[in-house]
Amino acid sequence: MNNIKSDGFHTVEQIAPDTYRIDECGAANCYLAVGKERALLIDTGCGLGNLKNIVEQLTVLPVDVVLTHAHCDHAGGVGWYEQFFVHEADRTFVYSILSSRLAARAIIGKNGKRSDFAKLPFRPKPVTIRNGHVFELGGRRITVVHTPGHTRGSIVLLDDNHKIMFTGDDINPFLWMHLPGCTSLKEWWFDWRLDVVWMF
């Protein structure tokens, strides 16, 4: 979008009314869903540049932050905010390692400099959520569906009114199911997919 002041790391695309995709260096996507009273930031990238500044150019409303799962390319910028929502099953030691800045630096590798990573103002408080949690944004409801697989606490977020499903890494041509903390393929396939199909 032309009127967004770039930080050199993020680009913004409006994908639906009041809904934005924020690309971080072509390596990670965050989404911002804006209601009438609040906005929901879905994932926070690896922590490069100044994500909060980009979000503040898109909305003046209070922002809640939710992670589709606790991996470093989704949780890296979470410290721009004082608290974040995450599924309770992703609050274990293995996911704290996989979502750490150490892991983010390993992913960015030689292409990123240490100084590219933001110095984040907060050590944010995790607020755990479960299947069925609803984010009320004011005229817009976004519902959490627990989708264990890529991590045990992976979620997708359903926006019924706009017919949008924010899927994190779960629908992805390169879905990684080999990392520590991934479920078996059987669990990934059977535990939740039929539930989502029945909801539509």
CA-wise closest residue to 43 among 15, 18, 75, 14 = 75
Residue number, 73 or 159, with CB nearest to Zn ion: 73
Residue nearest to Zn ion according to CB distances in the complex: 71
CA-wise closest residue to 179 among 86, 97, 108, 110 = 97
Residue number, 4 or 27, with CB nearest to Zn ion: 27
Are 124 and 64 contacting, i.e. CB atoms less than 8 angstroms apart?
A: no
> CB of 170: closest distance to Zn ion in angstroms?
9
Exposure of 25 by Cβ count < 10 A (0-12 exposed, 13-18 middle, 19+ buried)?
Answer: middle
> CB of 74: closest distance to Zn ion in angstroms?
6
Residue number, 34 or 104, with CB nearest to Zn ion: 104
What's the Rg (C-alpha) of the chain? 16
Residue number, 10 or 71, with CB nearest to Zn ion: 71
Query: Beta strands 19-24 and 28-34: pairing type?
Result: antiparallel
Instruction: Please name the amino acid found at residue 199.
Output: M
Q: What are the Cα distances from residue 151, in Å, to 29, 154, 188?
A: 17, 5, 9
> CB of 172: closest distance to Zn ion in angstroms?
8
DSSP symbol at 80: G
Residue number, 71 or 140, with CB nearest to Zn ion: 71
Instruction: Please name the amino acid found at residue 47.
Output: G
> CB of 120: closest distance to Zn ion in angstroms?
20
> CB of 18: closest distance to Zn ion in angstroms?
26
Instruction: Please name the amino acid found at residue 123.
Output: R
Residue number, 72 or 129, with CB nearest to Zn ion: 72
Q: Which residues bind Zn ion (CB under 5 A)?
A: 71, 169
> CB of 181: closest distance to Zn ion in angstroms?
10
Read off the tokens for 5: 């002041």
